[in-house]
Structure 1
């Protein structure tokens, strides 16, 4: 690191501004943490704009005139955002809304620049929690094998080791550390920008309304087209299984291990310590009733789905879908849980939704997700009444519901469930409590791995902010876009630098270590693409804008990230279980963007050689064709991309 501090220098009360100014990372004191982050801004952001973006949340807090104390005890600092008239006259602006004093006297239109956004408290806590978990693992490895044998719960254990990193991170163990409100961060709680907006233009088919791109298809595409194709889809035919292997001495044991190794890493929703207890309870009732039975059957369904490691799109024709028999059996139990309002019932709905996403049934998954959301809202309305033994489970079910809902809302115009109202007060996931009397260390079918789950929470919140700040409101000029894009890019870089080394993927064209790194890298480049995508739209409308170096640089960043997401299409199979449907729609929008750029005289110069781009697009067309039979919405995307590519090839032959 650039500078090492003492163990006492990590004060959770330090403001976000202080932390950023030190080296741009919340880990400057951690010897094993991420490398220092130099806060590099794009050249098009002028110093005045930088200050505007950095100070905005403090400015909003000052303008609110609140006399209450900040929960993080941040030092207050006033910063007035001047209107455009006062900026042009270089006069002092009083910042009054809707009109400042000078604009009132001149009877002029008073316009304030769009404020930037700051990394909120919740995301900093998530990044700190990632490093904390890694510190706990290192502490565990230093422990004697006879000292306990069970997993360490961050909520209860802070004496496992004298490890320096663990001590420096002990501040994150303070009670309530994960429940700090955002009100002191300059964020209006009435409009939480870390949640998916109710109206946005970030979905895949919206690009078909762009200039140049809309000419690639023969007829206009309704923004509701994906939703309508899924609504018209025949219902899922679920038949009770004729026989079911439930002998843990046989295949079910390997399916359970596959679940904890290959599925729970994405959702972190099943406690491995509870697995055998759930199985015994389910076995006692003949696997016919109860939430424990449903959990067991859904774990086996998802475990069998992940067992081979292959995408459902690669199944030979006529072969049954892996895990469907177990899911059908769980489906017989699920109706009795729909009218129960407890954490286990909500967990069952999340697991069932996860399986429905695996078999590419997004609307059916949303239905179950909505039911889980209703249960959670009833439970979380009085969090003090939640039994301690299921509190961690309730929180993990909540974060799953929130993230899956955000993923679906990113592409489909669905009703919001209302679960988001609890986000600001919800503690971040910790370790499941461990009870050695329930399961010995040798009985555990897998580990309780939280790294990906926490990283995904932070990234999903950032993606939601992108949708809020860029795609839910109309921007009339490039200058109004610049400070927001600059801050969002900085936040994405900060998210990356905050990842523990075990899950920090290489941004270069180097192999990822495992599926988790591959999926995080794909989602990183997808996020980077949509941050800079408005610049591509602006240049497609007016190519003279690209004469400004700053605009050209932003376009180059967007196109580079777009190509990186698409150039190795087979890598998307690593996330086939949680992200097959969403990934198909993501590569559809990125491919349409790439096609539009190839038809622009200016943007095409920012791309790799034409032969390389043609190969990338051809691979996407072939991949979407293979996925098309899984869902009518993907089939529609495949048809759109194929027609657009045929038309693009014709247009590329014409003289420019």
Structure 2
């Protein structure tokens, strides 16, 4: 069979250990009832499609409480796509997303069933979640909802047909034949009751037992020994599912600890089940606003420290996940003429010349600002979600009154204009070398205001530095962007040390700035060996974004949060992969790695299934018109590649390893995910604003992996099941070489990457022809 027909099985091998449950008809009818209006604070009234974000704030699979949270939300997810192509791939997956202007009314959780709408229903913005937000950074709303798990949790795997198709009724007694056979014995009262506990003989014969002791009627007639089982504890479906999941967590923890001790996986010293939200102690208590005794929420160790070894959802300080580490692998190291230190990319960026245009006197043209503002809210804010469309006009009036020469509002407006103009020109890799980047005049004017913001320690000053770093990411200047992110981090840590330091009307903005800082710092740490800013220590105390508020009735643009929330969850999963598989320059054997890989892939599949339907990308091998779906699909396959990448190393090191069916299957998943990222190289332009530099190094990493696979007989045979001809692989690699060559003028680190990939292709072809 052509492999293209079955390339849409994310995590299919990771869920086989969980059995489906037969649910009582009452449970099924309850599931079909519309959800009740939210009664509890913010996080207990979360939209069902926000279940992926709950995973972002809890560390799976390390805690029991977080597993219960996942149970609580699984039946609010879309139907499982594991084992078959997701519903979004059936032909309607490319339908344009409908994102209405966020309603400021109360949030309505009565959403239509995905099976009834085929995935094209309008999607409401999560902005309306702010209606019931708690006024602090506490995550008690999340933790408090754990107690509902027993009533709401039901398995999402192997569910009955009645659950997977909203148009079918659940089986129940209501539709059964009312004319049941009646017993006509005179001595038996009607209706006849089934015995509470049947004897073993009646059980084996599947006949009614009257429960008479010491012998029931049937055993007395047969002269058989009548034995009754001891009564046990009767569990409902929710109880059974919780016990199954807890047993699964316990077995995973035991296997992981054994693997970490014997095979080099860097596991935490204390039990993961004791960290990150499952237990509260005096050191982690927060001050409650309004209580009169505000308690500092700064963790022990002070500002900028790194003292949270149990948080596996953060980037490790040492890891082997970066692209250049692949040049040390067998066969792949033969593709370069000399060894490369993974630190060389950082050294090249440190030696880079600064932007000379920033020393010039800015000359700002304000004749086309309306178009650039509209472009920002239409094309840019979806990635960062850090500018409030409900207060924009107020900011603009303040900046205009100051002549765009002073104040945080002026700086913010100028940076929005710079990013908006940049978004209209497409990828910066398509701009003629030597030509000024679009938006640079506005950025230069904003840069002149940043020194004043540098010495301010308020939320708007942090927002200025974040937006400036966003433009530097667009210019492909990762180290300068990191410098501004560190300044943002310092300001955030000062603000977050006490909840009272953040004005109530700026708490939502503070949360968004925080998550942006954490996301992009993690992306940089994945490729460069940079110091950690320390902002991660507040991760447990900062809530998830919900929705902007403001004094203006009509927003200048959409407050679109869905991508941002999904990216928070996925970035944390990527960090867990780095912690569990790639930390401390060590990697476990494939046998001990198997349960860890299975669990991480299972979480990746759950992330996909938790996406709102308009964001659930199809798994077809075609280009998508929606840039958000395109970026999410690329990020999905990038995560899947690094989850299964250790199996490629195992085969490159020893060809006999592929004889293990589990190893071969894992290699197939890894190479398939790599090909899916590379076969349409132009799709990477969709996320050019925030991800061009990170995306380029990810492309290089996956290409080196494919190159090494073509030099291995067993891996090469797997590759040929993923593409129609061997020439297809050569064409894919050639397209990558040309694309990275176009990036080479944008940054010295990308120039080196272009040299490496070009030399590697020449040597690969020589190897195969010789």
| Residue of 322, 328, 352 corresponding to 1:203 | 322
Distance 1:628 1:391, change over 3 A: same
| Residue of 551, 560, 577 corresponding to 1:466 | 577
| Residue of 631, 635, 644 corresponding to 1:532 | 644
- Residue 364 of structure 2 corresponds to 244
- Measured in 2, the distance between the counterparts of 1:111 and 1:267 equals 37
User: Rg larger in 1 or in 2?
Assistant: 2
Instruction: Please give the per-residue CA displacement for 1:151-182, whole angstroms capped at 9, x wherever unaligned.
Output: xxxxxxxxxxxxxxxxxxxxxxxxxxxx9x9x
CA contact (8 A) 1:350 1:397 kept: yes
- Residue 228 of structure 1 corresponds to 347
- Residue 151 of structure 1 corresponds to none
Instruction: Please give the per-residue CA displacement for 1:8-67, whole angstroms capped at 9, x wherever unaligned.
Output: 69998996545766xxx8252x4xx51235699xxxxxxxxxxxxxxxxxxxxxxxxxxx
- Measured in 2, the distance between the counterparts of 1:114 and 1:557 equals 25
CA contact (8 A) 1:278 1:296 kept: yes
Q: How does 1:187-586 map to 2 (within 5 A)?
A: 190-237=309-356, 238-246=358-366, 250-308=367-425, 310-435=426-551, 439-441=552-554, 444-473=555-584, 474-586=586-698
CA contact (8 A) 1:288 1:333 kept: yes
- Measured in 2, the distance between the counterparts of 1:209 and 1:477 equals 18
- Measured in 2, the distance between the counterparts of 1:370 and 1:616 equals 38
CA contact (8 A) 1:117 1:488 kept: no
Distance 1:514 1:476, change over 3 A: closer
- Residue 80 of structure 2 corresponds to 36
- Residue 749 of structure 2 corresponds to 633
| Residue of 26, 31, 52 corresponding to 2:73 | 26
What displacement does 1:121 show? Answer: 8.7
What displacement does 1:307 show? Answer: 1.6
Please state whether the residue corresponding to 1:626 is helix, strand or coil.
Answer: helix
- Residue 125 of structure 2 corresponds to none
What displacement does 1:646 show? Answer: 0.2
CA contact (8 A) 1:526 1:586 kept: yes
Distance 1:630 1:651, change over 3 A: same
Q: How does 1:39-58 map to 2 (within 5 A)?
A: none
Please state whether the residue corresponding to 2:713 is helix, strand or coil.
Answer: coil
Instruction: Please give the per-residue CA displacement for 1:271-297, whole angstroms capped at 9, x wherever unaligned.
Output: 011111111111111111110000000
What displacement does 1:475 show? Answer: 3.1
- Measured in 2, the distance between the counterparts of 1:110 and 1:586 equals 27
What displacement does 1:561 show? Answer: 0.3
What displacement does 1:110 show? Answer: 12
CA contact (8 A) 1:241 1:325 kept: no
- Measured in 2, the distance between the counterparts of 1:397 and 1:263 equals 15
Distance 1:267 1:242, change over 3 A: closer
What displacement does 1:578 show? Answer: 0.6
Please state whether the residue corresponding to 1:602 is helix, strand or coil.
Answer: helix
What displacement does 1:525 show? Answer: 0.6
Instruction: Please give the per-residue CA displacement for 1:342-387, whole angstroms capped at 9, x wherever unaligned.
Output: 0000000000000000000000000000000000000000013311
Please state whether the residue corresponding to 1:596 is helix, strand or coil.
Answer: helix
- Measured in 1, the distance between the counterparts of 2:325 and 2:747 equals 19
Distance 1:332 1:110, change over 3 A: closer
Unaligned runs of 5+ in 2: 1-19, 45-63, 85-142, 151-241, 278-296, 300-306
Distance 1:407 1:557, change over 3 A: same
- Measured in 2, the distance between the counterparts of 1:98 and 1:572 equals 36
CA contact (8 A) 1:113 1:480 kept: no
**Greater per-residue helix proportion:** 1
Instruction: Please give the per-residue CA displacement for 1:233-268, whole angstroms capped at 9, x wherever unaligned.
Output: 11221133453122xxx4111000000111100000
Please state whether the residue corresponding to 1:424 is helix, strand or coil.
Answer: coil
Distance 1:495 1:364, change over 3 A: same
- Measured in 2, the distance between the counterparts of 1:270 and 1:426 equals 18
Please state whether the residue corresponding to 2:73 is helix, strand or coil.
Answer: coil
CA contact (8 A) 1:34 1:498 kept: yes
Please state whether the residue corresponding to 1:412 is helix, strand or coil.
Answer: coil
- Residue 45 of structure 1 corresponds to none
What displacement does 1:112 show? Answer: 11
CA contact (8 A) 1:114 1:480 kept: no
Instruction: Please give the per-residue CA displacement for 1:317-352, whole angstroms capped at 9, x wherever unaligned.
Output: 443210000000000000011011000000000000
Q: Tell me the number of residue pairs that the alignment of Structure 1 and Structure 2 aligns.
A: 530
Higher mean Cα deviation, 531-540 or 465-474?
465-474
- Residue 112 of structure 2 corresponds to none
- Measured in 1, the distance between the counterparts of 2:474 and 2:484 equals 14
What displacement does 1:479 show? Answer: 1.4
- Measured in 1, the distance between the counterparts of 2:400 and 2:251 equals 68
CA contact (8 A) 2:623 2:680 kept: no
Unaligned runs of 5+ in 1: 41-69, 88-94, 100-108, 123-178, 182-187
Distance 1:577 1:645, change over 3 A: same
What displacement does 1:191 show? Answer: 2.1
- Measured in 2, the distance between the counterparts of 1:626 and 1:83 equals 45
Distance 1:226 1:415, change over 3 A: same
Residue 637 of structure 2 corresponds to residue 593 of structure 1:
no
Q: With the length of structure 2 as denominator, give the TM-score of the two structures.
A: 0.64
